[in-house]
Amino acid sequence: MVRVAFWFDTPVEYSGGLNYIKNLLYAVSLVNDGTVRPYIFFASSIPVSIEAEFSPYATVVRTKLLKRGSLPWFIHKVLYKLFGSMILASSLLKSYGITVLSHVWFVYKGRTPFRIISWIPDFQYLHLPEFFSTLDLEEETRQNQQIIAQSDIVVLSSNNAHEDFKRIAPPGCESRGRVLRFVSQPRTARSSYAITRETIEKKYRFQGRFFFLPNQFWVHKNHMVVLQAVKLLKDEGINILVLCTGNVKDYRYKDTKYIDGIYEFIELNSLQDHVKILGHIDYDDVLFMMKNSVAVLNPSRFEGWSSSVEEAKSIGKPVILSRIGVHVEQNPPNGRYFDPDDAAGLSQIMGDMWAAEQDGSDADAERLAREALQSRTVAYGKAYLGLVCGLDTRDSEPR
C-alpha cells in the first residue's frame, strides 16, 4: 500500500486550495482499488464541517503543527527558519507510515523518508511581472527551482504551465514535470437554507436576468474590460446586469487599489444598476448563480487552469472567455472567445446572448455535461494514481 499525504499548510480560507484537493481526492476515490491510502493533515482547529467534507475520501489528521499561533506551530516554524529543519513534520508523517508527500507548495528542507510530488499552479510572474509589486521575481524563480530539484514529480495544471516549467527547471530536472488537468466537481454543499431564485434575489438585492463573473478581484482578472463592455451596451440602450463575486483584496499587488478603480468606473458611468460587486459569497450561492445566469464570464489575462471555466463545463453552462492560451486549452464546449483588450468585441457577444433570452437551466446541456464530467473525473483519478504508483517507494533514498 502507498500512503499518500497532503500537508495543508495554508489558511482554510484559501477555498481554491481546499476545493482543488477535495476534487482530486474525490476523483481518486472513484478508481482506487486500495493500492493508495490518502491522508490529509490539517490544523487542529479546522471546523468540523471541513473534516466532514474530506473524511469520505481520506484519513483526516488534525495537528497543532499546522495551527497558527500554537506552541508546536511556533517551534516548527523557528526550526525551519533558523536551521531549515522539518524534523517535527517529518516525524509526524513518518509515524503514519507516509511514503509519498503530495502537492507540496513549499521548499521542504532536509532529507525526507518519502517521495515528493510538488505542485506549481502557474508561473504568472514570468508573464505579468508588473502585477507583482512586492515580489522578488528572481527569488521566486530560485524558490521554484528548489521545489523542482527536491521533487520526484512536479504537477502542472496545463500545457502552458509545462512550457514555463521547462524554461526554469534546473539542468537534469526537465523530465520531472507532468501535466495533470484538474476537474471541478460543482456539487452543492449542505446548505443552511433553501436556495431559490427569490431567496437569491432578496439576499443580494437584484432582480432579473444576469451574467455571472466569479473571479477574485486581482488585477490580472481584468474586470475593467467587462465594465467597458457594459457601458458600450448601455450607450446603445441595452441594459444588462453583471453580478461579480470574489475576494476584493489583491494581496500581491499592493501599490494600486484595483477594486477602487472598479468602483470609480461604475460611479462615473452610472453603472450601479448594471454591475453589482457582491464580494466573497457562499459557494452554494456561487453555483446557483452560475447555473441560472445567461453565461459565465472570465475575462482574465492569465490563468493556471481556470476553476470557473471548469465548473461551467461541469454543469453545461455557456462561457464567455478571454482568448488566452490556457482558456483555449480548456476548450469549454459552448465557449465564446474575445481578445482581453477588446471591449467592443465582448459587448457584441454579450449583447447577442442577452437578446437571445436564454438563461437558467438547459436540461440537454446539463445531461451532456454530467456524462462528460463522469468520464473526465475517472480519467483524472487514473492519471493521478498512475503518477503515485509509478514512484518506487521501496526503501526510497530521499533527495
In the block, cell 476548450 appears at 331
CB 214 within 8 A of CB 289: yes
- How confident is the prediction for the chain on average, in pLDDT? 91
Taking CA 62 as the corner, what is the angle to CA 61 and CA 67, rounded to the nearest 5 degrees? 145
- Give the residue from 245, 298, 235 showing the smallest Cα distance to 269: 235
- Give the residue from 361, 224, 220 showing the smallest Cα distance to 288: 361
In the block, cell 477602487 appears at 260
**pLDDT score at 379:** 97
Whole-Å CA distances, 155 to 105, 158, 383: 11, 9, 11
Given a cut of 70, whether residue 360 has pLDDT beyond it is no
**pLDDT score at 399:** 47
Dihedral class, residue 350 (left if φ above 0, else alpha if ψ from -120 to 50, else beta): alpha
Given a cut of 50, whether residue 349 has pLDDT beyond it is yes
Q: pLDDT tens across 75-102, in order? A: 999 998 888 788 999 999 999 999 999 9
Question: For residue 113, what pLDDT band results from cuts at 50, 70 and 90?
Answer: confident
- For the structural domain made of 197-361, what CATH number should be given? 3.40.50.2000
Comparing 193-197, 238-242, 335-339, which segment has the lowest mean pLDDT?
193-197
Domains 2-180+376-389 and 197-361 are alike in CATH topology: yes
Q: pLDDT tens across 266-303, in order? A: 999 999 999 999 998 988 899 999 999 999 999 999 99
Q: pLDDT tens across 294-341, in order? A: 999 999 999 999 999 999 999 999 999 999 999 999 999 889 999 999
CB 229 within 8 A of CB 347: yes
Pick 383 or 370 by higher pLDDT: 383
Contacts of 303 (CB under 8 A, 6+ apart): 122, 309, 324, 326, 327
In the three-class reduction of DSSP (H, G, I as helix; E, B as strand; rest coil), residue 314 is classed as helix
In the three-class reduction of DSSP (H, G, I as helix; E, B as strand; rest coil), residue 282 is classed as coil
CA distance 30 to 239: 45
Q: What percent of the chain has pLDDT over 90?
A: 75
How is the chain split into domains, by residue range?
A: 2-180+376-389, 197-361
CB count in 10 Å sphere of residue 16:
12
Q: How much is the average pLDDT of 10-14?
A: 76
**pLDDT score at 35:** 93
CB 181 within 8 A of CB 141: no
- Give the residue from 309, 292, 316, 274 showing the smallest Cα distance to 199: 292
CA distance 151 to 115: 7
Q: What percent of the chain has pLDDT over 70?
A: 93
pTM score of the predicted model: 0.88
In the block, cell 481578445 appears at 339
CA distance 220 to 256: 12
Comparing 4-18, 24-38, 194-208, which segment has the lowest mean pLDDT?
4-18
Given a cut of 80, whether residue 190 has pLDDT beyond it is no
Q: What string of DSSP letters covers 98-115? A: --EEEEE-S---S--SSE
Pick 207 or 135 by higher pLDDT: 207
Whole-Å CA distances, 46 to 12, 21, 77: 7, 15, 19
Whole-Å CA distances, 78 to 68, 83, 85: 13, 8, 9
Comparing 129-138, 201-210, 220-229, which segment has the lowest mean pLDDT?
129-138
Say if domain 2-180+376-389 classifies as CATH 3.10.620.30: no
